[in-house]
């Protein structure tokens, strides 16, 4: 890469890779699989990364994304900051480039039509809201996001949902002359996804594609059914050189993913070995043996907590603090917040 073509982000990624410790086996597994030809039966099409908060899942995902980029592949990343399936597709499309122009045009039309509906004083916004809430409940049920997985009739009043849908349909039919626009607003996922898949196939004809879904413990209630439908081919044929990585606190549900277990490589992340923890501390400039032993004991070798306790470059064990100290308190607050790992990785 010439000096002229190096970006700020390139420099950040280089330094992150230089400071990356451990996970060599997981990276090697991904690398070897990704480099296989698409018709090699030992090639994994989906990687399921899971582990407790603070174990370094997001950091590993970033390393894997850098790896595929170095190989000239397209890549895109999603976390909990996309709030519905259309927005997820739009985020992926924006990262995957010019081949997604057709999808982006259709998505922009969807946003325009939706905004007009919201501003129209005659729009049945109450019915629209009930319809949206029904869709969310159905998605949650389908992905087992609701403990106990109650029957769908217990979650949704079918008559009320049908009434809301009919009110919205009548309004849209009167307002819009194109039936495709009516369908777009009534069911944007069904209308937008085929366009997204066609663009994905077009891009995949030129380069390999890797999609990364992070913090999946938060996004799975709304994304899991859609992702599985993508794999089933409901919206069209996906490119053969597509690789998915799904990262979250929990392993993928064996029942929901039963048809795809043969293509999934499960990757469970656990705390560092003592050797790995020591390597990280050395990279952070912490070399005093007394301090090293104290941090290893206090952190339990959890990667993010090791890094956090090394932040201030402690020179004495008393500088590290104890398990009730401020640094650990900060980490425990992050533990309760699924987005915390992203802040440290």
pLDDT tens-digit readout, 95-150: 999 999 999 999 999 898 877 776 666 655 565 555 555 454 444 444 444 333 33
Q: What is the pLDDT of residue 143?
A: 42
Q: What is the pLDDT of residue 260?
A: 94
Q: What is the pLDDT of residue 123?
A: 57
Diameter over CA atoms, the chain: 76
Q: What is the pLDDT of residue 269?
A: 93
With H, G, I as helix, E, B as strand and everything else as coil, classify residue 15: helix
Q: What is the mean pLDDT of residues 42-69?
A: 93
Query: Between 312 and 7, where is the model more confident?
Result: 312
Q: Does residue 283 have a pLDDT over 70?
A: yes
Helices assigned H by DSSP within the chain: 8-18, 24-34, 57-70, 85-96, 101-119, 125-142, 152-155, 158-175, 179-186, 188-204, 216-232, 274-283, 289-299, 303-310, 317-320, 326-335, 340-344
pLDDT over 90, % of the chain: 45
Give the residue carrying structure tokens 């915390």. 340
Structure tokens at 70: 């170095």
Mean of per-residue pLDDT scores for the chain: 79
Which phi and psi angles does 102 have, rounded to 5°?
Answer: -60, -45
Nearest alpha carbon to residue 345 among 10, 13, 11, 9? 13
Query: Between 222 and 7, where is the model more confident?
Result: 222
CA distance 48 to 71: 21
Query: Between 211 and 145, where is the model more confident?
Result: 211
Q: What is the mean pLDDT of residues 225-237?
A: 96
Query: Tens digit of pLDDT for each residue in 169-196?
Result: 665 666 666 667 777 877 889 999 999 9
pLDDT over 70, % of the chain: 68
What residue ranges do the domains of the chain occupy? Answer: 44-93+195-268, 101-193, 274-344
Q: What is the mean pLDDT of residues 30-52?
A: 95
- CA angle at 129 for the pair 111 and 119, rounded to the nearest 5°: 45
With H, G, I as helix, E, B as strand and everything else as coil, classify residue 27: helix
Per CATH, the homologous superfamily of domain 44-93+195-268 is P-loop containing nucleotide triphosphate hydrolases (3.40.50.300)
């Amino acid at each position: 890469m010439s000096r002229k073509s190096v970006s700020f982000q390139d420099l950040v990624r280089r330094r992150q890779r230089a400071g990356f410790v451990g996970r060599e086996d997981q990276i090697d597994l991904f690398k070897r699989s990704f480099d296989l030809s698409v018709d090699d039966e030992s090639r994994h099409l989906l990687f399921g990364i899971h582990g407790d908060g603070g174990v370094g899942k997001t950091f590993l995902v970033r390393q894997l994304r850098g790896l595929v980029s170095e190989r000239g592949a397209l890549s895109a990343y999603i976390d909990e900051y996309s709030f519905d399936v259309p927005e997820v597709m739009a985020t992926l499309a924006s990262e995957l480039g010019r081949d997604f122009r057709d999808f982006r045009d259709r998505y922009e039309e969807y946003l325009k039509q939706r905004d007009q509906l919201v501003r129209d004083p005659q729009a049945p916004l109450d019915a629209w809201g009930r319809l949206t809430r029904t869709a969310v409940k159905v998605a949650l049920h389908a992905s087992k996001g609701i403990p106990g997985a109650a029957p769908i009739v217990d979650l949704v009043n079918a008559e009320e949902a049908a009434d809301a849908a009919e009110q919205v349909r009548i309004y849209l039919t009167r307002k819009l002359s194109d039936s495709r626009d009516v369908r777009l607003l009534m069911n944007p996922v069904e209308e937008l996804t085929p366009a997204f898949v066609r663009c994905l196939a077009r891009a995949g004809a030129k380069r390999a594609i890797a999609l990364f879904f992070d913090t999946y413990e938060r996004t799975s209630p709304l994304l899991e059914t859609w992702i599985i439908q993508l794999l089933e081919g409901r919206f069209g044929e996906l490119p053969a050189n597509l690789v998915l990585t799904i990262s979250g606190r929990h392993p993928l549900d064996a029942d929901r993913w039963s048809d795809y277990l043969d293509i999934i490589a499960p990757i469970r992340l656990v705390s560092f070995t003592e050797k790995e923890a020591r390597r990280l501390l050395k990279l952070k400039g912490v070399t005093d043996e007394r301090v090293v032993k104290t941090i290893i004991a206090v952190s339990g070798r959890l990667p993010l907590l090791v890094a956090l306790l090394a932040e201030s470059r402690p020179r004495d064990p008393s500088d590290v603090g104890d398990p009730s100290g401020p640094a650990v308190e900060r980490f425990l607050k992050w533990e309760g917040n699924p987005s915390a790992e992203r802040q440290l990785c």
